[in-house]
Amino acid sequence: MSETRLEPGDRLPAGAHFGDSRRTRGRNAEPIGSRRGAAAAVLAACALVGACASAPERAGRPVGRASSTAAPAVTGVRIADLALELVGTPYRYGGEDPASGFDCSGLVYYTYRKNGVHVPRTSRQLFKAARKIALDDALRGDLVFFQDQAKLSHVGIYLGNGRFVHAPSSGSTVSVADVGVEYYQQHLVAVGRVLPN
């Protein structure tokens, strides 16, 4: 079988899936399963250990679909842009504002709320509320969900071109990651849209 190479901005080839370790990232890049890919996978695994899936739930917060009067595409772009502005903000378990820090679902909650969209607070609630879509159909501002072993463990905000913004774990900061990293490929369980149609 020939090796498939992806360039920045490319979509996954037909028939490829996230567990396909034959893919590479970028021109003349090492295969994702290489030492560099393995190092990235180890860092990603460390980042998600103890991630925010079990962030404290708040009583009285609605669990369900998002509500907004703004156009979804424009709102999604604004959400993604705001999330990018927050890169470098410290991680804090249960955090949902830039002054004190964010956990993964707190970052989603804050960026959506600032754009007039009311969403659930925890990653599990967001997962339940999201309409599941294919990664190829994902737009800026959609959500990517990850699980470790048997439980949902993480959520990020999709930026396009396989990249997403997230608040990984204690000791880290809000950052941009790529679903092409082997760890994320293996743990991506869904892409979802909570913005209304």
Evaluate whether 127 touches 104 at the Cβ level (below 8 Å). Answer: no
- Residue 158 φ/ψ, nearest 5 degrees: -70, 135
154 contact partners, CB below 8 Å, separation of at least 6: 48, 51, 52, 53, 104, 123, 145, 146, 147, 148, 166, 168, 187
Of the residues 46, 118, 154, 187, which is catalytic?
154
3-state secondary structure of 76: helix
Half-sphere exposure of 41 (CA within 13 A, CB side): 18
The β-bridge relationship of strands 24-25 and 5-6 is parallel
Active site residue 166: yes
Residues facing residue 165 across a β-bridge: 157, 176
Active site residue 187: no
Active site residue 154: yes
Of the residues 17, 46, 104, 187, which is catalytic?
104
CA-nearest of 76, 183, 62 to 120 is 62
Evaluate whether 165 touches 105 at the Cβ level (below 8 Å). Answer: no
Of the residues 17, 46, 52, 166, which is catalytic?
166
Q: Catalogue the active-site residues.
A: 104, 154, 166
